[in-house]
C-alpha cells in the first residue's frame, strides 16, 4: 500500500545493521501506536459516548443555570470555565481509573509489557490517549464559543488561554489518576482515591485549607501549599494571563506523576 | 538461541525460581513440566522480560534481557497464560496493532496477517469482538499475535490448556510445523503433549530443575521401564498360575513378578527387569518353550506421569524435611 513498506523487513531481520534498526527505535518508539490503540479503545465501548454526552450536558447546565451566562450579560466565557475544575474532579478520574487497573485485571499488561517497547512508551502512550480523549470532549464545547461570538464581541485570546488552562488542568488530573490506577486492579478504588487526591490539589488554594495550615505552619509552607492549587493556577490562565510558571507547574506535575506511574507499574506488575 | 544461567526470582520471602539454568537451540522444542506453582510461568515471564530476575541472567539471541530488553522482546513471540488480548478489539484490529508495534507495515503487514490468520483458522471471526469469542478462538488470536512477526524464539505458557481434543491437535500440529526453524519453549500439564511435540523435557519442582532430557531418557527412569506385561490363559487353575510365576522368577535378568491378577481365566503378570534391561526376548522364549497359551505379551516403555510423580514428589519432600530439621 505505501512505499515505506519495503524498509520494514529490515527491522525484523536479525542480520540487519544494528545502526539502522536503532534509528527507528528510540526509547519512545511505539508511543504513537499505543496512543492510537488506546484512543480507539475508548470509542469501542459506550464509555466514551456516555462521558462526552455527560460532559457537554453538565457544562451546559452549569454555565447557563448556575453560572448565569445570560444574566451576566457579558461577552466572555467566565461562567463556562469557572466550573471546569469541579467537573473534572469527577469526570477525569472516571477516564483515568481504567488506564492501568484494567490492564492488570485482564492480564493484558503481560502482553503490553512483553511487546518490543519501553515502559516509558507504554506509560506515555496511554496517558496521551486519555489526554487526547478529554481534549476531544473539551473541543466539542465549541458551540458555546460560537454562541458568545455571535452574541457579542469577546476577547478570543482570553478564551483560547482559558481553553489551554482547562486542557492543562485535565492533564494534571489525568496524570495523578494514571499513577493511582497503577496501584490497584480495582477501578472503583482507583476512582475514589483519585477523586480524593485531586480534591486536595484543588482545595489547597482555598482559605478553608490554608487557614487550617496557617494557624501553625510557617508562612513559606502555607505559600507552598497554596502554590500546589490547581484553582489558583487555572484562575490566572482563565483570565488570559499565561504565566510560564503555571505552564511549568502543570508540565512538572504531569512528568512527575507519569514517572511515578512507571515506577509503580514496574514494582507491582509481578503481584 | 536461549541461554539461562542461575535464574532466581524471589517475591518477598518466597523463592519462586531458585537457580534455573538451561539453554535451548534452534530446532528444539522444550517442554516445561512441573506441578502448579513450581515456577514455570515465573521463569517464562523472566525470559520474556515481563519480570525482572532477582539474580542470574537470561539471554535470547545473544542479547541480555536485563540490558537490552527491547531487542530481546523483538525476537520473541510470547503467548502468556490464558492468552490475554484486549476484549473490546476485533482479531483484525488487534493483529494490526501487534503488527504496527512490531514494525510490520504496509503490504507486508497485510500479507503477514493473512498468513497467520490462515494458519490458525481465524477467517470467520475477524470482525467479531474478542470478548465474544470462544476459548479456543481466543487462544488462536493469542497464537496468531505471537507468531505474526515470525520470531526466532517462541514461548508459550500452557498453549493447549482448556482446548478441546481437536483444538489441541491443531495447536500441536502448528507447533510441529514451526519447530524446525525456531527455538520453542512451552509449558504444559499434559504429559502426552510432551511425547507429541517436545524434543526435550525439563521438569521443575519448587523452583528447581529436577530432570532434563529427551522424553525417552526420562521414561527410562520409570520403575516400569522395560517391564514385560504377560497375560496367559490358565483356565482358572491356581497351580498353573503359581507355576508360571515361579518359572518367570527364575529367568536371568528378572527382578521380580508383580500384579498377578486373574480375569476371565486369564492371569496377568508384570515382570520387572533388573536395572531396566530388556528381558522381552527371554520371557517370550520361555513362554514358547513351556507351551503357555499367551494372550498378550507387551513391553512397558515406562510412563512419563509415573516419572513426573516420582521426581516432583521426592524433591518436594526434601526441602520440607530440611526446613523441619533446621527448625
Chain A CB contacts of B78 below 8 Å: 111, 114
Has residue A121 got a pLDDT over 80?
yes
Q: What is the pLDDT of residue A11?
A: 41
- Domain assignment present for A128: yes
* Residue in B with minimal Cα distance to A26: B70
Rounded-to-integer distance, Cα B139 and Cα B145, Å: 10
Sign of the four-CA dihedral A263, A266, A268, A269: positive
Identity of the residue in B50, B73, B106 whose CB atom sits nearest the CB atom of A116: B73
Provide the pLDDT confidence category of residue A25 given band limits of 50, 70 and 90.
low
Rounded-to-integer distance, Cα B319 and Cα B297, Å: 41
Do B19 and B58 lie in one domain? The reply is yes
Burial string for A130-153 (b: 16+ CB within 10 Å, else e) reads bbebbbbbbeebeebbeebeeeee
Domain that holds residue A256: 30-268
Rounded-to-integer distance, Cα B113 and Cα B126, Å: 11
Grid cell of A39 as nine digits: 484512543
φ and ψ at residue A125, rounded to 5 degrees:
-60, -45
Chain B CB contacts of A108 below 8 Å: 84-86
- Domain assignment present for B14: yes
* Residue in A with minimal Cα distance to B148: A12
Report the 10 Å Cβ neighbour count for B314: 11
Do B124 and B15 lie in one domain? The reply is yes
Interhelix angle A46-61/A84-96, rounded to 10 degrees, is 170
Do B272 and B152 lie in one domain? The reply is no
Percent of chain B with pLDDT over 90: 41
Q: Does B12 touch chain A (CB under 8 A)?
A: no
CA distance A118 to chain B (A): 7
* Residue in B with minimal Cα distance to A33: B101
Provide the pLDDT confidence category of residue A18 given band limits of 50, 70 and 90.
very low
Has residue A13 got a pLDDT over 70?
no
- Domain assignment present for A25: no
Q: Do A14 and B61 touch (CB under 8 A)?
A: yes
Whether residue A258 contacts residue A178, with contact meaning beta carbons closer than 8 Å, is answered with: yes
Do B234 and B215 lie in one domain? The reply is no
Averaged pLDDT score across all residues of chain A: 84
Domain that holds residue B68: 2-219
Q: What is the pLDDT of residue B236?
A: 63
Q: What is the pLDDT of residue A120?
A: 94
Chain B CB contacts of A2 below 8 Å: 105-107
Provide the pLDDT confidence category of residue A205 given band limits of 50, 70 and 90.
confident
Do B19 and B127 lie in one domain? The reply is yes
Domain count, chain A: 1
Q: Do A111 and B109 touch (CB under 8 A)?
A: no
Of A220-224, A240-244, B197-201, minimum mean pLDDT range? A220-224
Rounded-to-integer distance, Cα A135 and Cα A123, Å: 18
Has residue A195 got a pLDDT over 90?
yes
Report CA Rg, chain A: 21
Region B51-66 average pLDDT: 92
Provide the pLDDT confidence category of residue B324 given band limits of 50, 70 and 90.
very low
Whether residue A77 contacts residue A159, with contact meaning beta carbons closer than 8 Å, is answered with: yes
Could you say which of B169, B191, B219 is where a domain stops? B219
Chain A CB contacts of B128 below 8 Å: none
Q: Do A41 and B78 touch (CB under 8 A)?
A: no
- Domain assignment present for A195: yes
- Domain assignment present for B309: no
Chain A CB contacts of B108 below 8 Å: 5, 8-9
Provide the pLDDT confidence category of residue A2 given band limits of 50, 70 and 90.
very low
Of B56-60, B173-177, B244-248, B316-320, minimum mean pLDDT range? B316-320
Which secondary-structure segment (H or E) carries A110? Answer: helix A108-112
- Domain assignment present for A19: no
Do B245 and B205 lie in one domain? The reply is no
- Domain assignment present for A151: yes
Please name the residues in contact with B77: beta carbons below 8 A apart, sequence gap of 6 or more.
B146, B147, B148, B149, B151, B153, B154, B155
Q: What is the pLDDT of residue B321?
A: 37
Do B35 and B184 lie in one domain? The reply is yes
Do B111 and B174 lie in one domain? The reply is yes
Q: Do A2 and B105 touch (CB under 8 A)?
A: yes
Do B95 and B232 lie in one domain? The reply is no
Of B122-131, B140-149, B260-269, minimum mean pLDDT range? B260-269
- Write the DSSP symbol of residue B68: -
Do B245 and B196 lie in one domain? The reply is no
- Domain assignment present for A11: no
- Domain assignment present for A202: yes
We report the CATH number of the domain holding residue B282 as: 3.30.70.100
Ranges B45-49, B203-207, B212-216, B297-301, most confident: B45-49
- Domain assignment present for B314: no
Residue-wise pLDDT for B106-134, tens only, equals: 899 999 999 999 988 898 899 999 999 99
Rounded-to-integer distance, Cα B69 and Cα B71, Å: 6
Sign of the four-CA dihedral A111, B145, A126, A45: negative
Domain count, chain B: 2
Chain B CB contacts of A8 below 8 Å: 103-106, 108-109
- What are residue B18's DSSP bridge partners? B8
Q: What is the ipTM of this complex?
A: 0.83
Higher-pLDDT residue of B255, A73: B255
Identity of the residue in A1, A108, A270 whose CB atom sits nearest the CB atom of B106: A1
Chain A CB contacts of B82 below 8 Å: 107
Q: Do B106 and A41 touch (CB under 8 A)?
A: no
We report the CATH number of the domain holding residue B30 as: 3.40.50.300
Q: How wide is the angle at C-alpha A63 spanned by C-alphas A60 and A67, nearest 5°?
A: 155
Do B282 and B200 lie in one domain? The reply is no
- Domain assignment present for B160: yes
Has residue B325 got a pLDDT over 50?
no
Q: What is the pLDDT of residue A8?
A: 40
Amino acid at each position: 500500500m505505501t512505499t515505506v513498506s519495503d524498509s520494514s523487513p529490515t527491522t525484523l531481520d536479525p542480520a540487519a545493521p544494528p545502526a539502522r534498526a536503532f534509528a527507528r527505535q528510540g526509547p519512545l518508539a511505539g508511543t504513537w501506536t499505543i496512543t492510537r490503540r488506546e484512543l480507539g479503545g475508548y470509542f469501542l465501548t459506550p464509555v466514551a459516548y456516555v462521558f462526552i454526552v455527560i460532559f457537554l450536558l453538565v457544562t451546559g447546565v452549569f454555565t447557563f443555570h448556575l453560572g448565569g451566562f445570560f444574566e451576566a450579560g457579558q461577552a466572555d466565557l467566565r461562567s463556562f470555565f469557572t466550573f471546569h475544575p469541579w467537573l473534572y474532579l469527577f469526570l477525569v478520574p472516571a477516564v483515568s481509573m481504567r488506564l492501568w487497573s484494567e490492564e492488570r485485571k485482564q492480564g493484558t499488561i503481560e502482553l503490553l509489557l512483553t511487546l518490543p517497547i519501553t515502559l516509558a512508551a507504554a506509560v506515555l502512550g496511554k496517558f496521551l490517549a486519555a489526554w487526547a480523549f478529554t481534549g476531544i470532549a473539551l473541543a466539542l464545547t465549541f458551540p458555546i464559543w460560537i454562541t458568545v461570538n455571535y452574541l457579542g464581541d469577546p476577547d478570543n485570546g482570553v478564551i483560547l488561554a482559558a481553553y489551554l488552562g482547562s486542557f492543562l488542568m485535565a492533564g494534571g488530573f489525568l496524570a495523578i489518576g494514571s499513577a493511582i490506577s497503577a496501584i490497584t486492579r480495582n477501578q472503583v478504588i482507583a476512582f475514589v482515591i483519585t477523586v480524593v487526591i485531586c480534591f486536595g490539589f484543588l482545595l489547597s488554594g482555598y482559605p478553608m485549607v490554608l487557614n487550617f495550615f496557617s494557624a501553625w505552619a510557617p508562612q513559606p509552607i502555607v505559600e507552598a501549599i497554596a502554590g500546589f492549587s490547581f484553582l489558583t493556577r487555572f484562575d490566572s490562565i482563565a483570565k488570559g494571563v499565561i504565566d510560564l510558571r503555571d505552564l511549568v507547574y502543570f508540565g512538572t506535575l504531569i512528568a512527575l506523576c507519569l514517572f511515578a506511574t512507571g515506577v509503580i507499574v514496574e514494582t507491582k506488575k509481578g503481584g | 538461541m536461549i541461554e539461562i544461567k542461575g535464574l532466581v526470582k524471589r517475591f518477598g520471602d518466597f523463592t519462586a525460581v531458585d537457580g534455573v539454568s538451561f539453554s535451548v537451540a534452534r530446532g528444539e522444542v522444550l517442554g516445561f513440566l512441573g506441578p502448579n506453582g513450581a515456577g514455570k510461568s515465573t521463569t517464562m515471564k523472566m525470559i520474556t522480560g515481563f519480570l525482572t530476575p532477582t539474580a542470574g541472567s537470561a539471554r535470547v539471541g545473544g542479547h541480555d534481557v536485563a540490558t537490552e530488553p527491547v531487542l530481546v522482546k523483538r525476537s520473541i513471540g510470547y503467548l502468556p497464560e490464558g492468552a490475554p488480548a484486549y476484549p473490546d478489539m476485533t482479531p483484525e484490529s488487534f493483529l494490526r496493532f501487534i503488527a504496527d508495534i512490531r514494525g510490520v507495515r504496509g503490504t507486508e503487514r497485510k500479507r503477514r496477517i493473512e498468513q497467520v490468520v490462515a494458519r490458525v483458522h481465524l477467517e470467520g471471526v475477524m470482525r467479531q469482538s474478542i470478548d465474544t469469542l470462544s476459548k479456543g478462538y481466543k487462544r488462536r488470536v493469542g497464537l496468531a499475535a505471537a507468531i505474526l512477526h515470525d520470531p526466532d524464539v517462541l514461548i508459550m505458557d500452557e498453549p493447549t490448556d482448556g482446548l478441546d481434543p481437536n483444538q489441541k491437535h491443531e495447536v500441536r500440529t502448528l507447533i510441529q510445523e514451526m519447530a524446525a526453524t525456531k527455538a520453542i519453549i512451552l509449558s504444559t500439564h499434559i504429559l502426552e503433549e510432551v511425547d507429541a511435540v517436545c524434543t526435550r523435557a525439563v521438569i521443575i519442582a519448587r523452583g528447581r530443575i529436577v530432570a532434563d532430557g529427551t522424553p525417552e531418557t526420562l521414561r527410562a527412569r520409570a520403575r516400569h521401564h522395560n517391564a514385560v506385561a504377560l497375560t496367559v490363559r490358565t483356565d482358572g487353575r491356581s497351580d498353573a498360575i503359581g507355576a508360571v510365576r515361579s518359572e518367570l522368577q527364575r529367568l536371568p535378568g528378572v527382578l521380580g513378578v508383580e500384579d498377578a491378577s486373574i480375569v476371565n481365566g486369564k492371569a496377568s503378570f508384570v515382570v520387572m527387569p533388573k536395572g531396566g534391561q530388556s528381558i522381552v526376548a527371554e520371557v517370550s522364549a520361555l513362554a514358547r518353550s513351556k507351551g503357555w497359551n499367551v494372550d498378550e505379551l507387551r513391553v512397558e516403555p515406562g510412563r512419563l506421569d509415573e516419572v513426573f510423580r516420582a521426581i516432583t514428589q521426592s524433591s518436594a519432600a526434601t526441602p520440607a524435611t530440611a526446613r523441619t530439621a533446621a527448625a
